[in-house]
Amino acid sequence: MRIRSRAITVPLLWAGVTAATLAQAPSAPKLNIKLGLWEMTTSVNLGGEMPGMTGMDMSKMTPEQQAQMQAAMKAMMGTHTSVNKTCMTKDKLDSSAFMMPDSANTTCKPTIGTNTATTLDTDVSCTGAETTKAHVHIVATSPTAITGTATATTSQAGKTMTVDLKTSGKWIAAACGDVD
């Protein structure tokens, strides 16, 4: 059973995408940010309908299970804030799908607009089983601090969900320990 759609997980990945310095390929972020352990505070507001729920068959569930599932889906909507640690490495961002990885049924294409040491503006378009249009804006306020926003709309089988994300991050250490 698939509950988390691309629109939920991808903005959370974008929060981590920001914390690294890359000056390789033209499509890689050029943000002047230290690599290593970062603490990211992310607030995500989900609206609309959950696209990944279309194919779910709840007919074999008891009424109580159906009610629990509907309550869980409803709880995922609205605004949620989380604080996580992430290890940002050069390798994580060197792949061509650093903004949004392709899946078996969906292909994504990032189009980077502004790409400087202090600002990254990117549009992402995904086609396939789900269609997604997104815009990401990241500002490196210093090599050890970032802020960012992302907006996305994902549609699948007639259901559309919107995502509004705000994030801020601070560099903690060069060594990540056991944090991925």
The one-letter amino acid code at 6 reads R
pLDDT in tens, 84-126: 999 988 877 555 444 555 667 788 888 889 989 999 898 999 8
Beta bridge partners of 132: 126, 154
Give the per-residue pLDDT at 72. Answer: 78
Torsion angles phi and psi, residue 98, rounded to 5? -65, -30
CA nearest neighbour of 153 among 64, 66, 1, 48:
48
Q: Which pLDDT band holds residue 1 (cuts at 50, 70, 90)? A: very low
The one-letter amino acid code at 77 reads M
pLDDT in tens, 19-76: 333 333 446 778 888 999 999 999 999 998 876 554 566 778 888 987 887 777 777 7
Structure token digits, residue 158: 């007639």
- Does residue 156 contact residue 26 with C-beta atoms inside 8 Å? no
Altogether, the residues listed in the chain come to a count of: 180
**How is the chain split into domains, by residue range?**
6-173
| The model's pTM | 0.74
3-class DSSP state of 87:
strand
